[in-house]
Amino acid sequence: MSDTFQLDGKNVPFESGQTVMQAALAAGHYIPHLCYHPEFKPHGSCKLCTVKVGGRTAASCTMPAEAGLNVESNIEEMNGLRRTLVQMLFAEGNHFCPSCEKSGNCMLQALGYDLEVHTAGFRHLYPDRPLDASHPDILLDFNRCILCELCVRASSEVDGKNVFALSGRGIAKHLIVNAKSELLKDTDIALADKAMQVCPVGVILKKRVGFSVPIGERRYDQRPISAQALDDAPRLSDASSSCAACEGTP
Amino acid sequence: MSRKLRIATTSLAGCFGCHMSLLDIDERLLALLELVEFDRSPITDIKHCGPCDIGLIEGGICNAENVHVLREFRTHCKILIAIGSCAITGGLPAQRNHLDLASCLTEVYLTEPGLAHGHIPNDPELPLPLDKVHPLHEVVKIDYFIPGCPPSGDAIWKFLTDLIAGKTPELGHGLIKYD
């Protein structure tokens, strides 16, 4: 019999080495998250998965599960914090959903829906971030980057290429591509790369597939992200299948 | 039945898409008219907002006239609702916010190819554009926000009927949309 911890008053079993997030998802309990991805080492940067453990806050994607922990996640205090984080991510970039090909498949947008974010909350910064349309098959729209580093991790850990990196600090931090020209066309990225499939928002887009699925019939139009994420989670143990959390193009 | 609630609506720096969505409640407009009457609105063509219970404002603030109209609504409406992306974040018009206004006007009216003898409009009747496009809540207090570009007729119907029934309006999955 495996050990258990408490999540919002429910017993959650876990295996040694699992994080709170991994154990929760495997047991069918959703904790909101953005930079966490079942196939990658936890990053712990977006803080959406922050939970309360013994009165203190911690990122559940990096927190090791321990017997007897009392974890609080779906409480107004944590959801209010998550709402603020989502508002800050929206305010920092240029997230103009009506013109974004990722709308309906976007995790940031879906989290906004799930957390019922109706308002801007913060003064939007409207940064000036030019596109990189240099590559014949791939478009980079930096306006939407949330700095989750999933593309950075996918490119280095899975593709073995190091196409992407983050540069700068604080508010100046931004996504760069690994080429002297700073253009995607001069990197060795390929359409089949894992880095092409993991962006939770609309930064890395395959060209010429716009509206292949109509608005209103997309992933998070059909079911809220809290339900979708649980469907994706069991695939964690099934190494042969690809992860449904990666929004691949059909 | 107590008196009908009075509603005013207007579009500032918007496209009237949210008003089209209001019309998308279709025959429920007749049910709505049992509960409310319209003050200033494209439906009535009344030019100034009088004392109202609810004000619905589409579009952000991009010029001096928008500010005047918004303040008039705030003065006269007990509840003011920002409806749609432009009212809530600036939306499409705010896509100029990372650019310099003078260079925008210069490019559109003077240097863009095909504009022979163009000039930047300067008729004194035209409201002066603001340096940046602003969401409504940066100018006056806004009580409620209905996101969407535009919000669907169903979302508007749900929000208004909740509000009129005295409940906290809730949208929920499928009705809360940013696109």
SS3 breakdown of chain B: % helix, strand, coil, rounded to 5? 35, 20, 45
* Distance between B134 CA and the closest CA of chain A, angstroms: 9
Q: For position A249, what pLDDT does the model report?
A: 39
Q: How far is A162 from chain B (nearest CA, A)?
A: 31
Q: How are beta strands B5-11 and B52-58 bridged, if at all? A: parallel
| Res B115: pLDDT | 74
Residue A74: the pLDDT is: 97
Which residue has 């509000």 as its token pair?
B163
pLDDT in tens, chain A (250 residues): 579 999 999 999 999 999 999 999 999 999 999 999 989 989 899 999 999 998 899 999 999 999 999 999 999 999 999 999 999 999 999 999 999 999 999 999 999 999 999 999 999 999 999 999 999 999 999 999 999 999 999 999 999 999 999 999 999 999 999 999 999 999 999 999 999 999 999 999 999 998 899 998 999 999 999 999 888 765 444 433 444 444 443 3
* Rama region for A149: left / alpha / beta (φ>0; ψ in -120 to 50; rest): left
CA torsion angle A42 A38 A210 A214 (round to 10): -130
Residue B124: CB atoms within 10 A of its CB come to 5
**Pairwise pLDDT comparison (B116 vs A75), residue with the higher score:** A75
pLDDT recorded at residue A235: 42
- Which two three-digit tokens encode residue B88? 């809530």
Instruction: Say what the pLDDT of residue B1 is.
Output: 53
Structural domain boundaries in chain A: 3-74, 96-220
Check A98 against B147: CB less than 8 A apart: no
| Assigned architecture for domain A96-220 | 2-Layer Sandwich (3.30)
The single-letter code of the amino acid at B78 is K
Secondary-structure class of domain A3-74 per CATH: alpha beta
Q: Least CA distance to A124: which residue of chain B?
A: B89
Residue B7's pLDDT is 97
Residue numbers in A near B174 (CB within 8 A)? 221
Residue B145 and residue B161: Cα distance in Å, rounded? Answer: 15
List chain A residues with CB under 8 Å of B138: 123
- C-alpha A122/C-alpha B158 separation (Å) is 26
Domains and CATH numbers, chain B: 5-95+129-164 (3.40.50.700)
In chain A, helix, strand, coil percent, each to 5? 30, 15, 55
State the Cα–Cα distance between residues B175 and B156, nearest whole angstrom: 9
Residues 80-99 of A with CB under 8 A from B: 90, 94-99
The reported pLDDT for the residue numbered A29 is 94
Question: Looking at the predicted structure, is the pLDDT value of residue B69 above 80?
Answer: yes
H or E segment at A177?
Answer: strand A174-177
CB distance A119–B173 less than 8 Å? Answer: no
CA distance B136 to chain A (A): 11
- Determine whether B157 is exposed, middle or buried from the number of CB atoms within 10 Å of its CB (0-12, 13-18, 19+): buried
Identify the bridge partners of residue A19 per DSSP, sorted by sequence position: A64
A28: left (phi over 0), alpha (psi -120 to 50) or beta: left
What pLDDT sits at residue B125?
Answer: 94
At residue A250, the pLDDT reads: 35
Asked if B91's CB is within 8 angstroms of A96's CB, the reply is yes
Which pLDDT score, from 0 to 100, does residue B67 have? Answer: 98
ipTM: 0.92
A-B contacts (CB, under 8 Å):
68
More confident residue, B60 or A2: B60
Longest dimension (CA), chain B: 62
Contact B145 A103 (CB under 8 A): no
Interface check B177 vs A, CB under 8 A: yes
Which residues neighbour B160 within 8 Å (Cβ) at sequence distance 6 or greater?
B32, B54, B169
pLDDT on residue A113: 97
The stretches of A139-211 forming alpha helices (DSSP H) are 150-153
In this structure, chain A runs to a length of: 250
* pLDDT confidence band for B5 (50 / 70 / 90): very high
Q: How many residues does chain B have?
A: 179
Give the mean pLDDT of B114-134: 90
Cβ separation A114–B173 shorter than 8 A: yes
A210 shares contact with chain B (CB less than 8 Å)? no
The DSSP 8-state label assigned to residue A19 in this structure reads B
Token pair in block for residue A120: 């801007």
